[in-house]
Amino acid sequence: MTTVEVMKGLGPDVRTIKLNGHVGFDSLPDQLVNKHVAQGFSFNIMCIGETGLGKSTLIETLFNQRFEFTPSSHEVPQVKLKPHTYDLKEGSVKLKLTIIETSGFGDQVNKEDSSKPIIDYINQQFENFLQEELKIKRSLHTYHDTRVHVCLYFIAPTGHSLKSIDMVTMKKLDSRVNIIPVIAKSDTITKPELQRFKTRIQNEIANNDIHIYQFPTDDETVSEQNSIMKNLVPFAVVGSSDEITVNGRKSRARQYPWGAVLVDSEAHCDFVRLREAMLRVNMDDLRERTHAMHYEHYRRQRLAEMGFSDEDKLSLQEMYEKRRETHQAELQRKEEEMRQMFVVRVKEKEQELKKAEGDLQTKFEAVKKQHADEKRKLEEKRQGLDEEIAEFQRRKTAADNRNNLASGTSFTLSKSKKK
């Protein structure tokens, strides 16, 4: 005899019935799971941390695969995000894994704009999903969900406390994505130092109201595990893809002259716990929270921007029409304005040109007058010169005549000369 728990929250006209035999709808979860498994899951991890903290290595260690990330240099002028998508398969479960890595985070001298590209990327993914949701003909069940499900924030192993950029960035991101802080390269820190460091970070996170991802404790099956995990945050991890043989077994480790750090050993680092917490136990909860909390938050903000709100009680359709009308009116008004401005400008230009033409005309006249004056002057001078020449000739002939009279001969030279 199967019994059914009283479902809370139903109205008075819903009766709960006790079943007398096996109906069979207890296989619903299995049907759901089978359908999802056939579709495949998608999971998007974002890794934020300074260059050289081992983000790529940790992802490779987590998924036990070599992804061939290229290490970035320190001289990137602005933070950039590089998403890579991979298809993984474990058992019969297909996973579309997208890894988004920051490059150049914390390298610039002025780090004030470091978080902007990250926030833009997260919002862009939410926006894409929102657009898909609002489409008339949409295909949500085949849509490749690129929203960021979890953000691993890598803290540098200084041993003192969080850096200022860590705090500021986490504060900006805590309402948009699930943050799990991890201490990178934690094989630098001894056990007592690590405890102090973790306590200090936990205090700072609490004091500054940073809402990192809380592992869910309401489900009994996982609540115990998750409460242990909660105390371990931030996870102190060590990543390595190199294998060495220890005690006859091959395991991933980092070999030092003074010993070897085994990545898979719980006594050496928290890597195994991180993998459990993130992948084995809470992966679905992370996706759920991204959709139910962060995405809804974004959607509400965005629709409020667009002018929709819950108080007007208008359907989406009517809101759209109204919006469109106002928008059109606005456009028309702007067009009118521009046209008027154009006319005014053309008039001004015409006046200017006219004035310039007038100026040109007067200048031309002046130059012409000047030219005429000079010409006249030259003419006068020429006349003067001609007269002088004539005078000179007359004098010459007179002198010659006198000479001729004096000598008594007459020549015709003067005549020919006169020619």
Contacts with other proteins, residue ranges (CB under 8 A): 50-54, 71-75, 107-112, 156-168, 184-185, 187-188, 190-191, 204, 207-208, 254-262, 267-268, 356-357, 359-360, 363
Question: For every residue of 308-352, which 3-state class applies, written as one string?
Answer: CCCCCCCCHHHHHHHHHHHHHHHHHHHHHHHHHHHHHHHHHHHHH
Residue 163 beta carbon to other proteins: minimum distance, rounded to whole angstroms: 6
Residue 234 beta carbon to other proteins: minimum distance, rounded to whole angstroms: 13
Best CA proximity match to 295, nearest among 283, 306, 282, 286: 286
With vertex at residue 374, the alpha carbon angle to CA 369 and CA 376, rounded to the nearest 5 degrees, is 95
CA dist list (Å): 381 to 238, 368, 378: 107, 20, 5
- Closer CB to other proteins, residue 261 or residue 319? 261
Element (H, E) at 70: none
Residue 103 beta carbon to other proteins: minimum distance, rounded to whole angstroms: 11
- Closer CB to other proteins, residue 131 or residue 255? 255
Q: How far apart are CA 57 and CA 131, in angstroms?
A: 35
- Closer CB to other proteins, residue 171 or residue 291? 171
- Closer CB to other proteins, residue 25 or residue 256? 256
Let me know if 43 is exposed, middle or buried by CB neighbors in 10 A (0-12, 13-18, 19+). Answer: buried
Best CA proximity match to 129, nearest among 147, 114, 117, 141: 147
Best CA proximity match to 398, nearest among 370, 378, 418: 418
Residue 416 beta carbon to other proteins: minimum distance, rounded to whole angstroms: 52
Pairing of strands 41-48, 259-262: unpaired
Best CA proximity match to 48, nearest among 39, 40, 37, 59: 59
- Closer CB to other proteins, residue 52 or residue 83? 52
Residue 107 beta carbon to other proteins: minimum distance, rounded to whole angstroms: 6
The answer to whether 173 and 150 have CB atoms below 8 angstroms apart is no
Phi, psi for 400 (deg, rounded to 5): -60, -45
CA dist list (Å): 271 to 7, 58, 63, 65, 183: 40, 9, 12, 16, 10
Residue 419 beta carbon to other proteins: minimum distance, rounded to whole angstroms: 48
Residue 341 beta carbon to other proteins: minimum distance, rounded to whole angstroms: 24
Residue 171 beta carbon to other proteins: minimum distance, rounded to whole angstroms: 10
Q: Coil, strand, or helix at residue 13? A: coil
With vertex at residue 178, the alpha carbon angle to CA 78 and CA 55, rounded to the nearest 5 degrees, is 50
Q: How far apart are CA 105 and CA 79, in angstroms?
A: 5
Amino acid at 149: H
Residue 152 beta carbon to other proteins: minimum distance, rounded to whole angstroms: 16
- Closer CB to other proteins, residue 76 or residue 303? 76
Phi, psi for 250 (deg, rounded to 5): -85, 130
